[in-house]
Amino acid sequence: MAEVFAAYRWGGMLARDGVSAMEFPYSVAGLTAAHTAMRWPAVPGAPDRAGAKFRQQFGAVPVVLHLGYPATV
């Protein structure tokens, strides 16, 4: 699911540069305590500045889980 949300905005940039969707704050910020202070990964040509703090409280995955959709790993 993280890959789906990552692909929504950044398309193939993450795959091209070998960045995991689990490093991508839009997907997973707030999913666990380890993800609450995420920063944007260094991806050339990305629309957000690398290393900048992700300002939103939750990423897409935690929101979907909060709505009651099951998580699979």
User: Per residue in 44-70, pLDDT tens?
Assistant: 877 778 888 877 766 777 777 778 877
Residue 54 CB: number of other CB atoms within 10 A?
20
Q: pLDDT > 90: what percent of the chain?
A: 0
Label residue 71 by pLDDT band (50, 70, 90): low
Model confidence, pTM:
0.61
Domain extents in the chain: 2-66
Unique residue bearing structure tokens 């789906």:
4
CA pair distance 32, 41, nearest whole angstrom: 18
Cα→Cα distances 12→8, 9, 51, 61, 66, Å: 10, 9, 20, 19, 27
Label residue 24 by pLDDT band (50, 70, 90): confident
